[in-house]
Structure 1
Amino acid sequence: MTDTDLKKPVTTNGESGRPESGEHAADQMLVSLGYAPEMQRNRSTLQVAFMSFVLAAIPYGLATTMYYPLVGGGPVNIIWGWVAVSLIIICVAASLGEITSVYPTAGGVYYQTFMLASPEWRRLAAWTCGWLYVVGNVTITLAVNFGTTLFLVGCINVFETADGEGVLAGEPYQVFLIFLGLTLLCNAISSLGNKWLPILDTFAIFWTFAGVLALMVCVLAIAKNGRHDAKWVFGHFEANSGWTPGWSFVVGLLHAAYATSSTGMIISMCEEVQAPATQVPKAMVLTVCLNTIAGLMFMIPLVFVLPDIQDLILLAQPVPTIVKSAVGNSGGAFGLLIPLLVLAMICGIGCTTATSRCIYAFARDGAIPGSKWWKVIDHRLDDVPLNAMMLSMVVQIILGAIYFGSSAAFNAFSGVGVIALTASYAMPIIVSMLNGRRVVSTASFYLGSFGWFCNIVATAWSLLAIPLFCMPSTVPVVDPTTMNYASVVFVGFVAISAGWYVAWGRKNYVGPPK
């Protein structure tokens, strides 16, 4: 296939050369990419941006992983680590946006990798990218729901018994049952309320900023135990991980990387968007910018009232304790944490929705065992890939059982999600660079020479993130309870992918329609 064949242009409007608007043009574009439209295009530009915001769920995503920067470097890691990773993720979003504006399908980076790669190795490249994308979507959704569970336990435990213990023991069976309930609820809402989800996403963004403003004002105004000065907030570095200071800071970036890892998940919603070639790329980039601001609004006030870091790093979920310390009473702290809990639920619903589309898109090209079941669209439920959603849910529940063996399970889920998604995002970007970025030069969302810079930054970040987030957060003592199982889960999924390719894919998988 020639470069000309690879350049599947968007449908244009007459002689103007501009993309057509409206659902009809988007459906025509999808047909030109080889797929029949099966889903309702019920999301506007703002609704796409709002869903992208919900997938990242700032500040919730930062709240549940605050342990990592506290161990890694304290205030410097919390604030400047967030700024650094956000700038990097803007480059990732912009790079993916260029490619998505040429190939806007639910297959996302998987489809893009296939179309951009050379004919002799495109099947293997797409297979690898597709499995990374699916694994990343599933495990990040799992990490969100599991993180919500642990965060909920931490929020409940701002209330204490007479002995000073939290009112909820947080035994493994209790944690698993709460996780199970949250997972079932997210799947029920996502499958039964599909047409209402854009409204829920719109509500989430206003709810989030209202909650963050309330938290900022109350925490800073009350500050029962006093406030740190600005020099300490923006300049204090305290490595408690056992790693050398520089590397400790880098390991602490899992906090920011986890919160931004969902950047490319919104691509899987392209077939439910009215003008995906322009809406989705803009939504990805603008949402990262919005998230950066929201994250700073959330974290800076908390750092000003931060209790002793040595006490906080003993907790799985430090944020509830930070808020309680600042406001001085359990009821007030819990009230301020409610917006984060609601956002956490909405984030779980959004991730569940995006993941089901990702699995559906990969299955319709025959790449998942039992694809004939997972590629089915349930038209009774407003065109939802229900079977794909149920597959994802079952896998998440099975993996959630790891918590019975190790309390470090959440670390594994979030770590492998970041690794898999980051690697899958990098593949089409790298292939595009190897092709001299010729295909994206036709894109409606084209960055010109700045695109090279964004592509290089995105690739370098991927090469760092993959080994980085397989490492334990603390050394030198690593035991079964503190081990980072991300590498184990990641290798397990890679083995399944490779085994299925050898057993079936090598002879039968042909990839997306060309």
Structure 2
Amino acid sequence: MKDNKDGSVRSSIDDADRVRARKTKDATMGADDVRLAELGYKSEFQREFSVLETIAFSFSIMAVIPGVSSTLGLALASGGHVGMVWGWFIPCFFVMCIAASMAEMASSMPQRGVVLFLGQTRAREVFGTGKLDNRLGEHHGPGDAGLFHRLYSMITTAVAVGTDGTVNLGTGPTYGILLAILFIHGVICSAGTKILARLNLFYAFVTLGTTVGAIIALFVCSGENRVSAKDAFTLYENHTGWSNSGWAFLLCFTVPMWQFTGYDSAAHISEEIRGAAKAAPLAILVSVASVAILGWILSISASFATASVADLLATDLALPMGQLYLDVVGKRGMLAIWSLTTTVQASGYAFLCGAAQGVDASRVVFAFARDNELPGSRWWKKVNSYTQTPVNAVWLVMVLAAVCGLLGFSSTALTSLVSASVIGMYASYTTPIFLRVTSGRDKLVPGPFSLGKWYLPIGCAAVAWVTFIIVLLSFPTVQIATAETMNYAVVIIMAVFIFASCSWIISARRWFVGPLPNIDDGSTVASLDEK
């Protein structure tokens, strides 16, 4: 009887705890919906992302180890050991400034189109251009067109090592793999929010574990071939073809800038987050900081393990990082690490970062369509009644990704488009930050996370850095460019700018009014407050 009584007491306590937890969750979700209603939108999604799952989502988008692995060659060419270590470290401070400014805005306006909404604060013309830049960056960026090239390079490297160079996998079969992966993407991204939240938590742990394993393997297994600390941190080499070594080193900064994209995804899924006004800004800051730290430590380990920069750059493999693993841990060890890296990048970048990016992009499409800013908006803003996710928008993103994947057959076109997409994405990030520190200084209502008086210097640093990096990303990686080595990013950006300007002059200025609230009056807010 005593045991039964104790068991009953414990059961009652557990039930009470569950009731309190449920009430707390309901109160949090109620506050989220009230704030969303105040911004003019009704709640249409399940709020299933917790704080940890939101952080994992943004972290998975940036996928640190495949990013470093696929861009190591540029860092090596632009500065050798110095390029690997300090070419990553220096930009991180400025990226954190951008992330902090975005986090403050995401806390103030926790809704899907927060960047778009804020960009419209003062100038519809600026917002219109920013809108197109964001569209360019989000759907034609590293997560779409860049996916194919990275996928192709990593699979090619693995096959070459595994077969001792006897098998050359062509772009056709690899593109077929991409299409299969995108189909699986579409299925995953169409799932319910709860499933997506749990999957992204798993994605983050796989990415973290693989990165830590690679760091340890490179540093420990390099043994006697490990270079001195002085060389690892200070030995500079210029293999770019640019005669000015200072400028050549600056090109290293493009590596982390390609990597640090998509961390605004926490804002894009804010309508699916519990306690979004706190969780979204926290996810932006923590994910950027963690990728910055892990990426730097991985770069340091790679620097210590690199006995000869020139030999790595001369490798016959598609990616120098593959050669580095091969030199350090041998064929079997390389294939083991590479298979895990490919799990995060290929079947991985597909299922891990790629799936997360698919969710992110589909939510951006939904945000545009909800404000009737896309052709066929009535289709793309539909929310599936069963999964309560924008399934139509998901499949639109997958089709666009498949089309952009065709650019992987031309490395010149791909590199130019990736550079243009990063420029477009950071332009869309910085437009509202610029308005925040200029004409909109007193217009932002602070949320739970606020920079206080520091918003001005941090925002100015963010705008100055993006201005600089846009110029840098427009240059080719060699001094004397040919048709094959030219960077056509400026052509793509100008095409978008001209299209946006003409669109505004001819048509958009007559109908574009920015965000379109779908709540008619304050009755919804009042009813939510009563709850």
TM-score, normalised to structure 2's length? 0.86
Instruction: Decide which moves more: 136-145 or 281-290.
Output: 136-145
Deviations 1:429-488 (A, max 9, x none): 110111362234633211122222210111011101222112111221x23332223333
Tell me the residue number matched to 1:258. Answer: 258
Does the 8 Å contact 1:56/1:260 carry over to 2?
yes
- Written as runs of structure 1 = structure 2, the 5 A alignment for 1:139-158 is 139-146=141-148, 147-158=150-161
- Distance change (3 Å), C-alpha of 1:502 and 1:435: closer
Task: Give 2:209's aligned amino acid.
Answer: A
2:328 is the alignment partner of 1:323:
no
Tell me the residue number matched to 1:358. Answer: 364
Runs (5+) with no aligned partner, structure 2: 1-25, 518-531
2:402 is the alignment partner of 1:397:
yes
Percent of aligned pairs with the same residue? 27
Give me the CA root mean square deviation. 2.1
Tell me the residue number matched to 1:383. Answer: 388
Deviations 1:220-259 (A, max 9, x none): 3332771111111111111111221111111121111011
Deviations 1:173-206 (A, max 9, x none): 2343333333333223212464322222212232
Tell me the residue number matched to 1:374. Answer: 380
Runs (5+) with no aligned partner, structure 1: 1-19
Task: Give 2:478's aligned amino acid.
Answer: T
Q: Determine which of 467, 472, 475 is the counterpart of 1:471.
A: 475
Which structure has the larger Rg over C-alpha atoms?
A: 2
Tell me the residue number matched to 2:74. Answer: 68
What is the CA-CA distance between 1:497 and the residue it aligns to?
A: 3.6
Deviations 1:89-110 (A, max 9, x none): 1111111111111111111211
Instruction: Decide which moves more: 222-231 or 25-34.
Output: 222-231
Task: Give 1:326's aligned amino acid.
Answer: V
- Written as runs of structure 1 = structure 2, the 5 A alignment for 1:126-275 is 126-138=127-139, 139-146=141-148, 147-161=150-164, 165=165, 167=167, 169-192=168-191, 194-223=193-222, 226-243=225-242, 244-275=244-275
Q: Determine which of 456, 469, 472 is the counterpart of 2:460.
A: 456
Tell me the residue number matched to 1:480. Answer: 483
Deviations 1:292-327 (A, max 9, x none): 221123222221111532233355421111111101
Measure, in 1, the Cα distance between the counterparts of 2:146 and 2:189.
15
What is the CA-CA distance between 1:379 and the residue it aligns to?
A: 2.3
Instruction: Decide which moves more: 492-501 or 148-157.
Output: 492-501
- Distance change (3 Å), C-alpha of 1:455 and 1:256: same
Measure, in 2, the Cα distance between the counterparts of 1:150 and 1:488.
26
Tell me the residue number matched to 1:45. Answer: 51
Does the 8 Å contact 1:98/1:446 carry over to 2?
yes
Instruction: Decide which moves more: 36-45 or 134-143.
Output: 134-143
Instruction: Decide which moves more: 500-509 or 40-49.
Output: 500-509
- Distance change (3 Å), C-alpha of 1:166 and 1:24: farther
Aligned residues: 482
Instruction: Decide which moves more: 228-237 or 431-440.
Output: 431-440
2:95 is the alignment partner of 1:89:
yes
Does the 8 Å contact 1:225/1:326 carry over to 2?
no
Tell me the residue number matched to 1:513. Answer: 516
Tell me the residue number matched to 2:528. Answer: none
Tell me the residue number matched to 2:124. Answer: 123
Task: Give 1:449's aligned amino acid.
Answer: K
Tell me the residue number matched to 1:24. Answer: 30
Bigger fraction of residues in helix: 2
Measure, in 1, the Cα distance between the counterparts of 2:45 and 2:102.
23
TM-score, normalised to structure 1's length? 0.88
- Distance change (3 Å), C-alpha of 1:293 and 1:166: farther
The DSSP-based 3-state class of the residue aligned with 2:225 is coil
